[in-house]
Structures are given as C-alpha cells and as structure tokens.
Amino acid sequence: MSESSSIEWTDSTWNPVTGCTKVSQGCKHCYAQRFAERFRGVPGHPFEQGFDLRLWEDRLELPLSWTEPRRIFVNSMSDLYHERVPVTFIRRVFATMVVARQHVFQILTKRARRLAEVGPSLPWQPNIWQGVSIENMDVGWRADELRKVPADVRFLSLEPLLGPLDELDLSGIQWVIVGGESGPHARPMRKEWVRTLRNRCRREAVPFFFKQWGGVQKARTGRILDGRTWNEFPSQSRGLEA
C-alpha cells in the first residue's frame, strides 16, 4: 500500500501501521487524518476504523514482493515511533527493510524523542533513511534527537513550513525537504523562509528538495522556486533518480 505515490520525493508508500494522534502545530490540518476519516464505518475498507491506530501484520513483508528498486515512504498514514507501536513491531518493520536491500526506505517521524530512545538499538543499514518533521523553531529540537540515531542518511522534512528556521542546525543532516501546507485550511508560507533555507543548504552542501508552495489549490501554485524546480537527493540514492 501502495504501488505508486504522488508524493514528489518518493516512489511508493508502505503502511504497516495506520492511524495517529496529533503532537504539534504541524499536525493541525493532517492530510492523512482527513483522508482516513472519510471512510470511518465503511465495512471492509482499510480505514473502516478511521484514523485510529492499527498494526497491519499482513503488510509487514509487502516490500519483499517489489523487485524493482524504489524509494519507499514508510508509514505515510501514521508514525512508526508512535508511543502505542510496540518496539517488537518496530523491529519487525526493520527486519523487512534489512532484507529488502534493493529499496531505499524513508521513515519520517514527529516523535523524535522516542526515535532517539529506541533508534540506537535498531539494525540500521545504508538503505534505511530516517527523518524528522519540523514546522517551526518550537520543535527545532527534533533535529538534535535525530542526530543521536546512527542512520547513514538523516533528513529533515520542513513541511508544513509555518515559520522561519534561520537558527536550525543542519550539521549531521544529509537532506532537506521544504514544502508549504496544502488543503482547505492551508496556512501561508513566506518565500523568504524558503529562500533562506535553500541558500543555507547550498552553502553547507546539503541536498535541497522543494516539494510545493501549497495552498488551497497546490496544483496551481506549483513547485517552482526562482525559475526552476529543486529535486536534489542524497548521494546515497544514486541510481534511483528519475
């Protein structure tokens, strides 16, 4: 779930966990919750339970059936490090990623403290990337927790970008994604916030990926920044670029 994804920085999504709870301002207009709750109560639908947390045993080995190498966003509809996901289940997710070495797995969390707690004991290898979401400097500390994890690629998803991140420390970070909020209640993102981050990434040699301007109609606002798209990936993904 699923074979392909419209998310610009990945190829597919894999959701051995679905459902989540909100932890910060970046969660306020959660796209995953909005989507899942549309199907609450629909018999037999994968989101019959809405956005309530659920572990899917039958999805644990799904990436092993995908033979062509791809980037896979892990738990686009949840958070692997949610406090109600047992460490034993997290280890089973990692066991699949260790075996499926042909793929790059992109894990993203807002629960950086739990990541830092359990991460050092997990079986990291180069195809398992770990990121944290940061929407403003109130949660800039998540990057510090990420640096405690021995992943080859540590990345930041600065989306929805809700304020300037001029003081954000990029040391030990191998990739930065920036994007504005989209959907019916999208909060604004200023161009100078994006440009400052782009310029810092260029100075510090951190690959920069600009995902979208966002807004109520994100297709209309697009993803052009200063006359071009910015689709940079870490060097560890060489060979997977489109």
Can you tell me the mean pLDDT for 1-17?
89
pLDDT greater than 70 at residue 54: yes
Contact 77, 111 (CB under 8 A): no
In a domain, 206, yes or no: yes
Q: 66 is written with which tokens?
A: 């995908």
In a domain, 29, yes or no: no
**Domain extent for 231:** 62-237
Q: 50 is written with which tokens?
A: 């809405």
In a domain, 68, yes or no: yes
Handedness of CA 33, 37, 39, 42 (dihedral sign): positive
Residue 1: the pLDDT is: 44
Give per-residue pLDDT as tens, 128-151: 999 999 999 999 999 999 999 999
Q: Which of 210, 179, 153, 168 is nearest to 31 (CA)?
A: 179
Q: How many domains are contained in the chain?
A: 1
pLDDT greater than 80 at residue 47: yes
Whether this prediction's pTM lies above 0.85 is answered by yes
In a domain, 34, yes or no: no
CA–CA distances in Å: residue 96 to residues 43, 49, 61: 30, 26, 6
CA–CA distances in Å: residue 184 to residues 157, 159, 214, 217: 21, 16, 10, 8
Can you tell me the mean pLDDT for 49-69?
97
Residue 157's DSSP bridge partners are: 133, 177
In a domain, 17, yes or no: no
In a domain, 189, yes or no: yes
Confidence band for 69, pLDDT divided at 50, 70 and 90: very high
Distance from C-alpha of 42 to C-alpha of 127, rounded to nearest angstrom: 37
In a domain, 12, yes or no: no
